[in-house]
């Protein structure tokens, strides 16, 4: 769809889920992320703190789908946000997490892979500037979510792109998976710190892990 309507609260996010009951439970990422962003006056403070200077939310699209080649399913971003940082606009893919994993590794995802899957992996690597060898231990979700931000940055003609993991885990569960992906992208991962690199297209690309307020798990 290309026509959107304003949110009436967290329940509007629920209606966009693939399974509106299974994926909408207290203490899990979908409901927690929705309450955290709906409660914020613009951006949650831990997101704002990632940036120096003025940053504001221009637009947020929950459960935003980005078509990718080589398969029938798009990449569905928990929240796609257009941010204005000083005089720059950033296309941002926000991935909400509590204690859920990032899903299968690239190696697991490629088991008995079709030509379509291999085509998709080659495309994602091209977007992100990665060699498609030696990726087997990385989490596939991080790969296509980061690429989605880059793809939408090109589509919306923004100045920069970013992928932010918004974690509400008290122990930053699965941070090691994110850190391994960040390292492969050529940057060092730190909680609450923006890491910046450049994509093959020349666009500035940010990665970040933001630690959210855990009380939203009980929302």
Give per-residue pLDDT as tens, 138-151. Answer: 999 999 999 999 99
Alpha helices (H) along the chain: 10-14, 29-39, 45-48, 106-109, 115-128, 140-156, 175-184
pLDDT at 186 (0 to 100) = 97
* Ranges in the chain, pLDDT < 70: 1
Statement: the pTM of the whole predicted model exceeds 0.85: yes
Residues 8-11: contacts with CB within 8 Å, 24+ apart?
A: 9/38, 10/34, 10/35, 10/38, 10/219
User: Taking the domains of the chain in order of start, what are their residue ranges?
Assistant: 23-218
Residue 50 and residue 196 in contact, taking contact as beta carbons nearer than 8 Å: no
pLDDT at 70 (0 to 100) = 84
């Amino acid at each position: 769809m290309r026509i959107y309507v304003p949110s009436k609260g967290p329940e509007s996010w629920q209606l966009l889920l693939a399974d509106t009951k299974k994926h909408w439970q207290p203490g899990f990422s979908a409901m927690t992320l929705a309450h955290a962003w709906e409660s914020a006056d613009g951006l949650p403070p831990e997101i704002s703190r990632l940036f120096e200077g003025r940053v504001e939310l221009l637009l947020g699209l929950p459960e935003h789908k980005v078509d990718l080649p080589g398969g029938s399913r798009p990449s569905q971003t928990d929240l796609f946000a257009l941010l204005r940082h000083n005089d720059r606009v950033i296309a941002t893919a926000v991935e909400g997490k509590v204690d859920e994993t990032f899903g299968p590794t690239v190696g697991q995802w490629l088991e008995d892979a079709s030509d379509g899957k291999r085509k998709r992996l080659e495309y994602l690597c091209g977007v992100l500037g990665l060699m498609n060898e030696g990726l087997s231990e990385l989490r596939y979700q991080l790969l296509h979510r980061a690429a989605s931000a880059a793809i939408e940055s090109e589509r919306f003609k923004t100045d920069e792109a970013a992928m932010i993991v918004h974690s509400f885990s008290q122990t930053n569960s699965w941070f090691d998976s994110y850190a391994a992906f960040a390292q492969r992208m050529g940057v060092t991962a730190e909680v609450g710190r923006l890491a910046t690199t450049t994509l093959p297209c020349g666009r500035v690309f940010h990665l970040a892990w933001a630690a959210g307020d855990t009380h939203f798990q009980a929302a």
